[in-house]
Amino acid sequence: MYAARVYWFIQGVSDVPRDNTWLTGDERARYEAMAVEKRREEWRLGRWTSKRAVSTYLAGAAEEIDPASLDIRAAADGAPQVILRGEPGPVCISISHRSGFCLCAVAGSDVPVGCDLEAIQPHSSEFIADYFTAEEQSLLLRVLPADHPLFVSLLWSAKESALKVVRKGLRRDTRSVIVRLDPEMAGDGWLPLAIRCVESSKWFHGWWQAIGGFVLTIAAAVVTDKPIDLHRFLGGAGGAAGLR
């Protein structure tokens, strides 16, 4: 079976240039119109990360595309879309922020993709009962107490990624998608998971990995190979380095 390719890229607040010359005119206007400073800087980090990811993805190992020629806009349903020199870019992207970092997943325009970055932290039994399906709650009973925060954060993250694939986000009940994975399968690098919408037999294919105090998930509407780190094309340290 053919497996599509999906790419990932991470940046932190310290990676974002101090000036705004890399923003388009429309983006600068949007940025300056935001009143809340935290929201402004989070938005700016997301735009920088996604522009770097898209320009590297489109150029490969060749010369990068000028970030100022890319406009990252919100579509009518809120999902991010790429405009390249005034035209829709041949890519699908997803963006997630957490604790001063931003994760961007990139794939071809025919590969709907979603990603999520979560801090690994404890959650209450009420949270689990409210947001997880009975099947997922049963899975958590198989997890060692020390690993419980990781797997609760992982299940939540995978749900968010899948709901971004269907372009609904948290407007849709998190229990409307069911995450399946093997809690005994752990280790470094990307590991597989699967997510199904409760009303259909449609499966989303996904990947996850834990890095430092974070868990990353990427889901797609088609089968994909392990996500490829776009930092490999830039000759620098991998994206995971900043999270450790």
E strands, the chain, are 6-12, 70-74, 80-84, 87-88, 91-98, 101-108, 113-119, 177-180, 191-197, 203-211, 214-220, 228-229
- Among 76-85, 195-204, 211-220, the minimum mean pLDDT is found in 195-204
Averaged pLDDT of the chain = 89
What is the pTM (predicted TM-score) of this model?
0.91
Q: What is the pLDDT of residues 69-95, one digit of tens each?
A: 899 988 888 889 999 888 888 999 999
CB-facing half-sphere around the CA of 68: CA atoms within 13 A: 7
Q: Return the pLDDT at 61.
A: 44
d(CA 244, CA 228): 18
Q: Hey, where are the domains in the chain?
A: 1-234
Average pLDDT over residues 24-34: 91
- Among 35-49, 159-173, 182-196, the minimum mean pLDDT is found in 159-173
Q: Return the pLDDT at 234.
A: 79
Average pLDDT over residues 165-181: 79
Average pLDDT over residues 46-64: 83
Place of tokens 């939540």: 156
- Among 16-30, 198-212, 226-240, the minimum mean pLDDT is found in 226-240
Q: What's the pLDDT band for 64 if we cut at 50, 70, 90? A: low
CATH number for region 1-234? 3.90.470.20
Q: Return the pLDDT at 85.
A: 82
d(CA 190, CA 106): 16
d(CA 61, CA 19): 26
**Residue 62 pLDDT > 60:** no
